[in-house]
Structure 1
Amino acid sequence: MLCQALRRFGKKMVRKHPLELPVAETAPARSLSTLDLVVLGVGNTLGVSVYILAGEVARDQSGPSLMICILVAGLTSVLAGLCYGEISARIPHSGSAYLYSYVTVGELWAFISGWFLIITTFAHMGLSLVTKTLTLVKVLVLGFVIISGFLKGDLHNWKLTEDDYIKAGLNDTSSMGLLGSGGFVPFGFQGILRGSVTCVFAFTGFNIIVTRVELAQNPKCSIPKSIMISLFICFLVHFGVSAALTLMVPYYQLQPGSTLPEAFLHIGWVPAYHFVSFGFFCSLFTKVFGNMFPIRQQVYMMAKDGLLFPVLARIQTGTYMPILATMIIFIVATIMTFFLGFTDLLELRSVGALLVFTLLAFIVLILRNEAQVQEENEGNEADVQEENRPAAESLTLQTLFFPGNPTPTALSGWVVSVCSSLLALLLTLLCLVLARWPVLLSGDPVWITVVVLLLLLITGITGVIWRQPQSSSPIHFKVPGLPLLPLLSIFLNIYLMMQMTAGTWALLARSLKPTSLRAKTIDLELSRASTYLV
């Protein structure tokens, strides 16, 4: 009896959601070009974070090496963008990591990724002239900041010493931050890692592009292209703003909670302060009036699928909006803003984004080696179950490294799924050990042996995945260098997450309490209207 209950519960955790083709009468018009999607991605990513994040990270975590933090965070986001690009090309349906998880790896991971997206998604809707105008204003203002920083900045601020710190303390009556060791990297390698985690938040807005797949003119081509172009533009802007800020103001003189316009007050350029403040308020305007739509849509989708309380999916007559879900989101967001500090909110959103990025890389490994593309399986659940049964083929050591079929089979897909799960576990253990890198540098033979063994296991399992046949489906974009790039993405994401403070993990654990509640009540739910793939 208990075994049957556990088996039934396990099936519910891994069941998949079928993709539904849009009905011709209700399908939205495909009107968005690649340029429209790029504007949407850039406008959503370059939000208020670019005006506040740089000063917060430079003061306490990285100093002038903030540019390196932006580079690491940008690399992490680019790898995630590559994964988003291939998944959106294979599954051309409007959604997010929640939908991609639901149709590939099952209900449990869909709930987790959806909950993380609710925490981390603060995006704005808008494809109107107003949005394009505000995006142009923000880019122009930030371009002015970059040029001004190089004109009015001082390279000496990248090589500050203790004498400069003492002199600044005599002339500055406001509170100053820590000096650290001075120079370009005042807080060491650890400071760069901590700053990189926080800077991931600066790139989390690009995922709004995948929510517009069904509006794109050529989604299989334009979605991956617009993601990469948006990330490249945002990286250049963030990198330039970071350099300009640290050139204009010594990092220890940046005030807690100060915004980018205040840097111009430090150099006595008041007109520029007002001009940059205008760009800041443009960003604030687009966020305040637009950030409710994607979160509300995410909650509605999860409630409709039964992963959140069904009452959150109720549509108000006349407005056609989930009013109750909107009100609850607004209340929760207000409470979080009131009780949590700015740094806590940044880290909470960053760790949620990193977890979603990790799941995306895992999904790419699964999709590339699946026996049959998910969207081709619609409406034939029995055939899918029969085909995906690995018992039909024999598993030997030879088939691991020399599979007999040139195309993916049920067995090869099962092997990749198991190996990918093992790699995720081994990479987590490796990152836990590498988090003690000062001990490794001391030459402790025990830790060095552990690292070597983990690297050997990771290399061997990676070789198994590499030898498995991959899908030859003709799509416009594929992640290059599979399985190395997805595994590099998983490693970077997990290693950066290891730099989070215990307080951030406690906040994240507290936010995931509804998971246990849903697990306790899932067996009591009535059958749903939609069908699922077991």
Structure 2
Amino acid sequence: VGNITNNSTIIGTGGFFPFGIEGTLAGAATCFYAFVGFDLVATTGEETKNPQRAIPLSICLTLLICSIVYCSVSIVITLMVPYYLINPDAVLPEAFQYVHLPTLKYIIGVGALAGIFTSLLGSLLPLPRVLYAIASDGLIFRFIAWIHPRLQTPMIATILGGIVSAIMALIFDLKKLVEMMSIGTLLAYSLVSISVLFLRYQPIEDRLINNDEQTVQSICKQLFKPFRLHPTTISARLTKYLITCLVINGFILCAIQIFAQHYVEEKNPIILSILIIFLVIELCLIVLIAQQPKNEKSLYFQTPCIPYVPILSVLVNTYLILKLSPATWIRFGIWMFIGFLIYGFYGFWHSSQRFINDTQRLLSGSRSSLDSS
């Protein structure tokens, strides 16, 4: 369509990157919400016949299909209409109106209306299940986890999620909602990547070795020249420290690249030296993590290229998060503060894990008193 109808621009003249790579990355941080939704597949694990096979396959196919569709539409729009004439409120209909195809404009309008209802139903599917899981653990009010006896669905969580979503849509405009969703999603995906690293370097329970002497010599030997093929308590703890340092160092590295970009482009020697130092530290941390022994537990689907893929995910997500506006960070801070208040005043005291830990502590105390007597 773009090759036939657009004679006003030449391909390569400001078409695909009119604001450069930096502008594209800034837009990617905001438009990341376009890929939000594929994770709802993972929330249906209890309702899937073969979740170990079906869920990973569904996620991969969803991302592949969405990426192909998004890229195809973006390419066509870029070749049809100059970027400065694109109407942000109605991109596709106005684009076809611009090239004198008004019939397609109305067809796309009907499709967009159907897509809105599909997106609404798709968004209301995972949220109640997430609220159900959190409420079942006691982190929020347990009555939210109530299951309808006939429908067998979390009814209160569904109604509550719909009401909160409607109120948010009423108060905030679309741009603010998109940015809030983007920063929350990017942070959640970063935590998932960090969790993958933690889990992959954890020792298997039946091979757990607790009698390692945690001396300075053993830790240094494990750090620079690992001597075991399987994870141990020392290697797991050491890897956690390395991953924590890597995330903090990566955050500083991305912050320098974004907020001191002007000095980097001017080749300021001080800023460049600091940037190189943190870059070298980041590479050293990656090498140290990569040589630690990994958990060899066989699963149907595993993240490939550990630790490089999760580390790359964390760094890219961190960079995109820092590209968001300061107002988004303020709203995110308020949002997190409310969440911490709920956890501090209710979730911490009513958590199921807290009861389990207290029970285990009592059992271990009674066992030790019996042994001493």
With normalisation by structure 1, the TM-score equals: 0.61
Q: Please list every run of 5 or more consecutive structure 2 residues that lacks an aligned counterpart in the other structure.
A: 362-373
Question: For the residues of structure 2 that align with 1:215 and 1:310, how far apart are their CA atoms?
Answer: 21
User: Could you tell me whether the CA contact under 8 Å between 2:198 and 2:240 is conserved in 1?
Assistant: yes
For the pair 1:207 / 2:42, whether they are aligned, the reply is no
Deviations 1:84-120 (A, max 9, x none): xxxxxxxxxxxxxxxxxxxxxxxxxxxxxxxxxxxxx
Determine helix, strand or coil for the equivalent of 1:260.
Answer: helix
Q: Please list every run of 5 or more consecutive structure 1 residues that lacks an aligned counterpart in the other structure.
A: 1-147, 161-181, 377-383
Match of 1:306 in 2: 138
Match of 1:406 in 2: 229
Runs of at least 4 residues off by over 6 Å: none
User: Could you tell me whether the CA contact under 8 Å between 1:153 and 1:244 is conserved in 2?
Assistant: no
Q: Tell me the CA shift for residue 150 of structure 1.
A: 4.5
Deviations 1:426-485 (A, max 9, x none): 100111111122211212222112112212222222222111111222223333332222
CA RMSD of aligned residues (A): 2.8
User: Could you tell me whether the CA contact under 8 Å between 2:15 and 2:78 is conserved in 1?
Assistant: no
Question: For the residues of structure 2 that align with 1:515 and 1:332, how far apart are their CA atoms?
Answer: 14
Matches within 5 A, 1:118-517: 148-154=1-7, 156=9, 158=11, 184-216=16-48, 218-315=50-147, 320-372=152-204, 387=208, 392-394=213-215, 395-435=218-258, 436-517=260-341
Question: For the residues of structure 2 that align with 1:523 and 1:325, how far apart are their CA atoms?
Answer: 17
1 or 2 for the larger relative contact order (CA 8 Å, sep ≥6)?
Answer: 1
Match of 2:356 in 1: 531
Q: Tell me the CA shift for residue 389 of structure 1.
A: 5.6
Identity of aligned residues (%): 28
Letter matched to residue 339 of structure 1: I
User: Could you tell me whether the CA contact under 8 Å between 1:157 and 1:250 is conserved in 2?
Assistant: no
Q: Tell me the CA shift for residue 310 of structure 1.
A: 2.7
With normalisation by structure 2, the TM-score equals: 0.85
Deviations 1:296-349 (A, max 9, x none): 111121122122233423345655554443333223212221222222222221
For the pair 1:520 / 2:344, whether they are aligned, the reply is yes
Question: For the residues of structure 2 that align with 1:502 and 1:531, how far apart are their CA atoms?
Answer: 41
Aligned positions, number: 355
User: Could you tell me whether the CA contact under 8 Å between 2:33 and 2:178 is conserved in 1?
Assistant: yes
Distance 1:298 1:414, change over 3 A: same
Distance 1:271 1:513, change over 3 A: same
Deviations 1:255-307 (A, max 9, x none): 24224233222222122122222322221222234432311111121122122
Determine helix, strand or coil for the equivalent of 1:407.
Answer: coil
